Amino acid sequence: MKILLTGFNAFGTVKVNPSQLIVEHFAANPPDGIDLITEVLPTEFEAAGNRIRALIRQHLPDAVLCLGVAQKRDKINLEGVARNINIAEIPDNSGKMLSGKKIVEDGADIYHSTLPLTQLQDALTERFIPVAISDNAGGYVCNHVFYSARHEIEQRKMQIPCGFIHVPRIAEQEGELGLSLRVMVTAVRGCLEVLVSPAKVDANTD
């Protein structure tokens, strides 16, 4: 099975982006049985949107799993909805805001995730990893990439799972907001396993 896995580089006050570290981990240690395509996207509205579309066209994956960081959240968030709007409180890494601008001018208002969200949630819960299904992917570059990926897949009439997962910040010590990088890697590994074998959820953590 061919899966496209993406994250983002550092931006703003986020000096270390856990989504980048997770993607780099799997690039170096791909799970058995998966033809994994990995890429760290630039945290730039237009460049990231164009790149995710190009990756889908180039590789024609069987599933797309995009990762990003939500600094103020304390668990893995399985995003259910991508919205056709950019909302920026800070500029992206190219200096652009794009706030209030549609991602695709004549595109659908929303796209729903086509990932098996309930199965993903169950898989992480069985691993004792804090997880929630969310309907708020924000309006920054994460939502932009989520929407762009779903739009590209719809335009190409591809019947494949595609969605977005927000991870929290890296907690350096117990009690801090966020999760350890090890736990986040385990969570994404669990999600990849569900995508490969959706009917079989293995609760082993390693």
Active site residues: 79, 142, 166
Can you spell out the DSSP letters for 86-123? ---SS--TTS---TT--SSTTS-SEEE--S-HHHHHHH
Report yes or no: 126 and 152 within 8 Å, Cβ to Cβ: no
- The 8-class DSSP code of residue 184 comes to H
**What's the start-to-end Cα distance of the chain, in Å?**
21
For 128, phi then psi, to 5°, come to 60, 35
- Consecutive H or E run containing 168: none
d(CA 48, CA 39): 11
The residue with tokens 């790149």 is: 51
Which residues lie below 8 Å from residue 58, measured CB to CB, with a gap of 6+? none
Which residues lie below 8 Å from residue 176, measured CB to CB, with a gap of 6+? none
